[in-house]
Amino acid sequence: MKNLLRNTWFQVIIAGGLIGLVLIVLDNKFHFWHGDNSEEGEYRGPIDADKGNMYVTTASYSETSWDFGKIKEGDTVIHKFIITNTGKDPLLIYKAIGSCECVRAFCTKDPVAPGGTQEITVVFLSKGRKGKQQRSVMIDTNTDPAEMVLSITGEVE
C-alpha cells in the first residue's frame, strides 16, 4: 500500500476523486450546473430562448404508443401518428429521431397552424430483429415541454 501511495498516477486519481466529491457536495447547496426551472422567462428545449421572444405552443397526439402485433422478420411496418396544434401560435417540429437504425420517422418541417394537424410517419424495419421489440421516436417541438416520445412495440417471428 505504501508503494501505491507514492505513485504519482494514484495520487492524481485520489485528488481528482476528492475534488469531484467536493464539487458534488457544493453543487447541492449552490446549484452551479442547474438551470433556472421557473415557469416564466426561459424556455428549455432544442434551443434555449426567452419565452417572450418566441412561439411556444401546445400540442396533442392522436396516440403516443402503438403495437404492431406479430410480423415476420424482414417485414416493414409503417404507422402514422397525428400531432395537432392545440395552441395559439404556429407549431414547429424541429426533429423526429428514431431510437435505433431500424426506426425512421418522417414529417415535413412546415409550421402547423393553430388547430391544424401534421402526420408523423414511423417506419420499423424488422430485418435481423427477432423477438419482442420496443422502439421509440423522439419528437422535438416548440411546445413546453419540448420533447415527446412515441413508442412502437410488437413481436418479430
Residue 45 lies inside a defined structural domain of this protein: no
- The values of phi and psi at residue 48, to 5°, are -95, 130
pLDDT tens by residue, 78-129: 999 999 999 998 999 999 999 999 999 999 888 999 999 999 999 999 999 9
**pLDDT exceeds 70 at position 26:** yes
Question: Which CATH number characterizes residue 108's domain?
Answer: 2.60.40.10
43 and 144 Cβ atoms separated by less than 8 Å: yes
Are 120 and 86 in a shared domain? yes
Answer whether residue 113 is part of any domain: yes
Pairwise CA distance, residues 112 & 86, whole Å: 10
For residue 40, is it within any domain? no
Q: Does residue 130 register a pLDDT over 70?
A: yes
- Which pLDDT score, from 0 to 100, does residue 113 have? 93
Among the residue ranges 5-19, 25-39, 77-91, 96-110, the one predicted with the least confidence is 25-39
C-alpha cell at 3: 508503494
Note down the domain range covering 85: 57-156
CA distance 74 to 94: 30
Residue 84 lies in a domain: yes
How many domains are contained in the chain? 2
Q: What is the pTM of this model?
A: 0.65
Measured CA to CA, the distance from residue 52 to residue 74 in angstroms comes to 49
Q: Is the domain of 27 the same as that of 61?
A: no
